[in-house]
Amino acid sequence: MSAKPHDNDLRTPLKIARGLGSAKSGTHHFMVQRVTAIALIPLVIWAVWLALTLVHADFAQAHALLQQPFNAFVMILFVVAAFWHAQLGIQVVIEDYVHTHWLALTAQVLVRFTCILAGFACVLAVARIALGQS
Amino acid sequence: MSTSARPLSPHLQVYRWQIQMVTSILHRITGVALAVGTLLLAALLISLATGPQSYAVVRDFCASWIGNILLLGWTWSLAFHLLNGIRHLLQDAVMGYAINQFVRNSWLSVFGSLLLTALIWACVFMRGGAA
């Protein structure tokens, strides 16, 4: 266990915590995690259907499948909901199990960056597939 | 603060293993695994937007034995996280909190996920196998 933020502080833990209050944003996290979870139920079923359709598909077939407006649209909904839900979930896992402050902070930022980057890359990729020439 | 040597949650060392904690732990592990798996989906979509050569790389990876094992693991992770997630949503709506219901629904998540995985891979093999 490495040093925690207040290790060399002469104040008692209560004195440090008093007056800080809660972060006042926990409910929002809770709600968004559940709303994305509800959205992901039908989206995941659709994604499994799509994945099964893609078994043995060559490039042209896979490209044509995702080029259909409905599939492109739902895929964008799916990746946004999935990466959002993933970020919220991993955030809690890090908060619960990584007790080294700088490591937890670094991990949180990296996970956020990765999810946002991958999410936007997916949206851009689907847009290119859907709007481009086949 | 002389608190750094205290035992920290989740206190695994003092609990007897029971299905309630197994499903809770598995929900987190499968969730993290699925987050990594979603990156493969990102790779697939980007390769489809890039061209046939990139798509072949992702496709060959999925068709390799290690890709197959990972896909099987992600299928089960998805099935479990989906079913157990629905269980959690029902619990958020204050349903299924009696101990016997809780235990039964936990087992339903476990066996349901295995059944769902078998069904999905039966479809894969009916379409001519994974490779």
Q: Using one digit for the tens of pLDDT, what is the confidence trace for A18-34?
A: 877 777 778 899 999 99
Given a contact cutoff of 8 angstroms between Cβ atoms, the answer to whether B114 and B76 are in contact is yes
Residue with tokens 């599939």: A71
| Mean pLDDT for all residues in chain B | 91
Query: Strands, DSSP E only, in A5-73?
Result: none
Q: Average pLDDT of A29-51?
A: 96
Work out the burial of residue A31: count CB atoms within 10 Å of its CB; fewer than 13 is exposed, 13-18 middle, 19 or more buried: exposed
More confident call, B67 vs A17: B67
Query: How many angstroms away from the CA of B103 is the closest CA of chain A?
Result: 22
pLDDT tens digits, A56-77 = 899 999 999 999 999 999 999 9
Q: How confident is chain B (131 residues) per 10-residue block, as mean pLDDT?
A: 65 82 94 97 96 95 94 97 97 91 95 97 85 56
CB contact under 8 A, A62 and B55: yes
pTM over 0.90: no
pLDDT tens digits, B74-101 = 999 999 999 999 999 999 999 988 999 9
CB contact under 8 A, B56 and A59: yes
Per-residue tokens: A22: 């809660």
Residue B2 sits at the chain A interface (C-beta within 8 Å) = no
Confidence of residue A1 (pLDDT cuts 50, 70, 90): very low
Q: Is the ipTM of this complex over 0.85?
A: yes
pLDDT at residue A74, as a whole number: 98
Q: Which residues of B touch A52 (CB under 8 A)?
A: 120, 123-124, 127
Helix intervals (H) in B1-131: 19-50, 52-63, 65-92, 99-126
pLDDT at residue B34, as a whole number: 97
Per-residue tokens: B108: 């339903």
The crossing angle, in degrees rounded to 10, of helices B65-92 and B52-63 is: 80
